Amino acid sequence: MNNPAFKPTDPVEPQPIAGGSPLGHRLEKHFRHTVRGTVPPGNVEILPTANSSLTSDAIEIAQGLGGKGVSVPVLTGLVRLTDILLIAGTAVAAAFTSPEAAGLGLANLFVTAAAMLFTLAFFQAADVYQVPVMRQGLSQLGRVAAGWTLVFAMFAVLRTTTGVGATLSEAWIGAWYALSLTGLCLSRVVVYRMVRHWMSSGRLERRAIIVGGGTAAQELIHDLEAQSDNDIRICGIFDDRSNERSPPVVAGYPKLGNISALVEFARLARIDMLIVCIPLRAEKRVLELLKKLWILPVDIRLSAHTDKVRFRNRGASFIGTVPFLDVAAKPIADWDMVAKRIFDLVFATAAIIALFPVMIAAAIAVRLDSKGPILFKQKRYGFNNEIIEILKFRSMYTNMADPDAKRVVTKGDPRVTRVGRFIRKTSIDELPQLFNVLGGSLSLVGPRPHAVNAHTDNKTWDDVVDGYFARHKVKPGVTGWAQINGWRGEVDTPEKIQKRVECDVYYIENWSVLFDLKILFLTPFRLLNTENAY
């Protein structure tokens, strides 16, 4: 993707970007245009909080960086799947519409399967599944037509020289070729229009923040913008330094704040990647930055284009010819995210069907036991520190309910009803969260969502555990690895929340569908241990 550099209309000298200054307004206007900064319809406007470390300029820019992105691996995978279905579907259609074709035989099926494999290979070689090609019109159609024709030309040569496929109906072959070519070209017209739309709306780009300013950042930006078909969109610069080594404008991009502001900015905007542009020989400073940044659900890369690598071997990647060290990858992304969502929908639906009688009985028991609503709603931390509202069966007296979790539930707590004690011990009170899973705010398996004001010893848990918010790099779950290992119920000591977070981070770093299945299978058995549940 072309990535035109953001440049102010008039040359500017480095100076503070003060809110309300002519320079600040000019930079905001041009920068928002560069990142296509219109607030997506339906998005909630981002407003500064009383203790926000972001400037009004940075918050306004973040408003233009909302919405969901399109995963390139998922897009290319779906296009491949569409090609396969079109080839197979047109083969069947040709067999039953061609007058001389007598249905599909074993030879037809073999040739169809072979055609799928060779078509995918030829299309791959022709870069048909590359996004830069998908955004081209006639060039994309020409490559598709040439690849499909090459498959039939190869079969024609084999049929003439070896006699392979000589029994196949020529009418079927001709009809299949024409139908499939038409279908493939029409599908590519749709792909072309969709890709162009996603590009113009900013959904098909990787949004990056440069960490660190000065000359190194300027050289990196120039190198990135020199790459052909670059899909990186630079959204600003953050740096703790405020001296002449880190001016307020670098290569036309504004510095939006310090590292603390960066964490808050990345929570508000859709950012895909952090590029740390600090000399690798400054290992201490780099490690201090990474300690603050690794809690974010984004890719983190160290720019290695101006320095020799002095760290231990890590995964390396390139954007064009610019080298990077991959420090942290966004967890459960692309096809993993699709697989996990399908897993959630299938098993959550099955669980709701199987446990529906239990939920009906629990609802009736809650209603008969005490006055008040059957369901209890509570705000908790979700993915990327978003505030979500989860459902539970009410287990406390209505007038003693604590939706803000200002006081933890203890053994023999007088606020808990008779039915409440039973459904809390057996975790039946959590079953309505299966509907949260269907809605997408929760996953079936993941770190348990904690209440926003959860605390121990008068300290919120993010103050108790260093790196606590790293557990929010994925969606929270109805059950999780911490609960399987016995860390459920009351959290009355710092060690208990520390162990929970350690289990959550382990889960995030080792996630797989099989791991989710293991946790799901063990959950009913581990719930028999009700020692800390009350």
Q: What is the pLDDT of residue 26?
A: 34
Q: Return all residues near 30 (Cβ < 8 A) that are at least 6 apart.
A: 6, 7, 8, 9
pLDDT (tens digit per residue) in 159-171: 777 777 777 788 8
Pairing outcome for strands 443-445 and 477-479: parallel
Whole-number Å distance between alpha carbons of 456 and 15: 45
Helix (H, G, I), strand (E, B) or coil at 303: strand
pLDDT for residue 21 is more than 50: no
pLDDT (tens digit per residue) in 326-382: 666 778 877 888 888 988 999 999 999 999 999 999 999 999 988 889 898 888 888
Mean pLDDT of 63-77: 83
Provide the pLDDT confidence category of residue 311 given band limits of 50, 70 and 90. very low
Higher pLDDT, 111 or 227: 111
pLDDT for residue 124 is more than 60: yes
pLDDT for residue 129 is more than 50: yes
Mean pLDDT of 395-416: 75
Contact 68, 210 (CB under 8 A): no
Give the chain's mean pLDDT.
77
Q: What is the pLDDT of residue 246?
A: 74
Q: What is the pLDDT of residue 463?
A: 60
Q: What is the pLDDT of residue 502?
A: 85
Mean pLDDT of 205-215: 84
Closest by alpha carbon to 203, among 383, 297, 81, 65?
65
Provide the pLDDT confidence category of residue 3 given band limits of 50, 70 and 90. very low
Q: What is the pLDDT of residue 300?
A: 84
Contact 110, 91 (CB under 8 A): no
Q: What is the pLDDT of residue 220?
A: 83
Q: What is the pLDDT of residue 239?
A: 85
